[in-house]
Amino acid sequence: MTEKNITTKIQVFAYTELSQEDKKLVDMAREATGASYAPYSNYHVGAALVLDNGEYFIGANQENAAFAGICGERSAIYAAGARYPGVPVRKLAITASQDGQIVAEPVAPCGTCRQAILEFEKNAPHPIEILLAGRDTVYRLESIASTLPLCFKEF
């Protein structure tokens, strides 16, 4: 038997240490939590992304009684893909709020979102940088694949 260790490199920033572009994305994601429809979970997820062509998109989770809603990350990335097919996503920021307040700790996408974002990344000429934002702390990941180390890479 052999053993492997899987590690993920995460850069940890205070919000105040972010570049202007990163602050813009985090701020857009925070604002997008207000567009969330989350009467069942009261967990409002907002996402913002920028494409290689400089266009920005936001998304917010949308729930329903059948639990067949969509997460904020996928609503943003699918909207971008529908509007600009084939234009790579450069960077994606994700955050959440509860009771009108941004959650304290950075939030990570669910497994379904990780795989969906990975689909866009594998078709791009570069990784998609991910910003996971809490109230004061932001995690930066070089690639969505780092959140899903045993992901489906080829089909």
* Domain boundaries defined on the chain: 11-147
Instruction: Give catalytic status of residue 55 as yes or no.
Output: no
Give per-residue burial for 11-25: e unless 16+ CB within 10 Å, then b. Answer: eebebeebeeebbeb
- Give 100-134 pLDDT, tens digit per residue: 999 999 999 999 999 999 999 998 999 999 999 99
Instruction: Specify which residues 129 forms β-bridges with.
Output: 91
Scanning the structure block, which residue is given the tokens 């329903």? Answer: 64
Assigned CATH for 11-147: 3.40.140.10
Q: Collect contacts of 118-124 with beta carbons under 8 A, ≥24 apart.
A: 118/144, 118/145, 118/148, 118/151, 118/152, 118/153, 120/77, 120/81, 120/88, 120/89, 121/89, 121/145, 122/153, 122/154, 123/86, 123/88, 124/88, 124/89
From 73, 105, 119, 154, the catalytic residue: 73
Nearest to 93 by CA among 33, 6, 9: 33
pLDDT one digit per residue (tens) for the chain, 155 residues = 999 888 899 999 999 999 999 999 999 999 999 999 999 999 999 999 999 999 999 999 999 998 889 999 999 999 999 999 999 999 999 999 999 999 999 999 999 999 999 999 998 999 999 999 999 999 999 999 999 887 776 64
* Contact predicate 145/33, CB 8 Å: no
Instruction: Specify which residues 60 forms β-bridges with.
Output: 46
